[in-house]
A and B are shown apart, each in its own frame.
Chain A
Amino acid sequence: MTRMSEVERSPEVAVAAPLLAEAVGLVAHTPVRNSGTVGGSLAHADPAAELPAVALASDAELVATGPAGTRRIAAVEFLTGPFSTALAPDEILTEIRLPMWAGGHAFVEFSRIHANFAVVGVAALIDLDGDRIRRAALALTGVAPTAIRATAAENVLAGSDVGDMAATAAEAAGVAVQGLTPAGDLHASPQTRLALARTYLRRGIELAMSRARNER
């Protein structure tokens, strides 16, 4: 039952899970974050919410507790559909385990109105080995029935040189949106969502890359 505002202000979270800290700051407004919890957002599983994408990109493990005991669920297994999770009716989410990430992070999103739900959001984690990307993790919100990992784009990034960050990020962003078929609604058409996803992927990847460089 950790309130989002507690996470937002925690110096420990800022160091250990900066992606979570950055994403939490984008969730609605202070009065909402004073009440809303991190676990609540994950268990609610809104396809446009930030925190499911953070859990996915971070390879989080979610601990469910019920009458039969506790079990750990990988984030990718946890999100089963819009507003749907792997939690059984008699289970509640009691713990969120986020592995530490050594490199750079970024959470970026497009929202029509300050603090509204994002139309599209991107979580990016990039770990460097010299001038090469050792490991990348990308997750998207707003383009599918759940938050999704962009595995093909992660594979493009892994091993690539960061000498030309813009070109590398643009290539990965292009690969990430291939095959996506987002639904349109009154906030954005499918085409707009794809264009936004591509733009925000590029920005997120570049920001995570530059932070990874500066942290060395």
Chain B
Amino acid sequence: MTPTACTINVTVNGHPHVAEVEPRRLLVDFLREDLGLAGTHIGCEHGVCGTCTVLLNGASIRSCITFAVQADGAEISTVEGLARGGEMHPLQDEFSEKQGLQCGYCTPGMLMRACEILAENPDPTPAEVRSAIASNLCRCTGYQFITEAVIGAAARMRATKEVAS
């Protein structure tokens, strides 16, 4: 039986898209394969590791266990939407500066989760950041540098009054 295609309207990083997707199409596959936004990574494929984390209407979700049709009418933010006109987002800058990544596999998910953390609390303590990023696995850095990067970005964003997401 051929699944019936569904029409969805989604805004991804500010750009509206109308697309035909199978009901079973995962959001992460829609983003990576249909829209070509391969910055969002696929890791465990069952909602545990967090590298596929994107923001759906500002809330972090696992795009590997979300269907594309569930995003109908929603605004999605992915890692590709962070930089503005060739200028790195403070979070990206600080991840680079503080070596908050090594292999980079977890980084897109970490960055998007960090956006949500700072949108909720622009001035978190290191302990709050560590607790909040526990939703995302990193097997390289041991989380210390990621925490420092998020704290550093928070300070810069407060100084420039930049909104996280």
Chain A residues near B (Cβ < 8 Å)? 5, 28-32, 34-35, 114-115
Contacts and interface: CB of A to CB of B under 8 A. Distances in A.
B56 to A, nearest CB: 8
A31 B134 contact: no
A30 B119 CA distance: 13
Contact of B61 (A35, A114, A115): A35
Given A31-B113, A32-B47, A35-B65, A115 B60 contact: no
Contacts of B132: 30
Contact-residue bracket for chain B: 10 to 19
B62 A115 contact: no
25 contacts: A5-B59, A28-B135, A29-B134, A29-B135, A30-B60, A30-B116, A30-B132, A30-B135, A31-B50, A31-B53, A31-B60, A31-B62, A31-B113, A31-B135, A31-B136, A32-B47, A32-B62, A34-B56, A34-B61, A35-B61, A35-B62, A35-B66, A114-B131, A114-B134, A115-B134
Interface of B: 47, 50, 53, 56, 59-62, 65-66, 113, 116, 131-132, 134-136
A31 B114 CA distance: 11
Contacts of A115: 134-135
A28 B47 CA distance: 11
Given A28-B135, A35-B61, 16 more contacts: A5-B59, A29-B134, A30-B113, A30-B116, A31-B53, A31-B113, A32-B47, A32-B135, A34-B56, A34-B59, A34-B60, A34-B61, A35-B65, A114-B131, A115-B134, A115-B135
Contacts of A30: 60, 113, 116, 132, 135
Nearest to B132: A30
Contacts of B59: 5, 34
Contacts of A114: 131, 134
B111 to A, nearest CB: 13
A5 B135 CA distance: 14
A114 B136 CA distance: 12
A29 B135 CA distance: 5
A35 B74 CA distance: 14
Contacts of A35: 61-62, 65-66
Nearest to A34: B59
B61 A31 contact: yes
Contacts of B66: 35
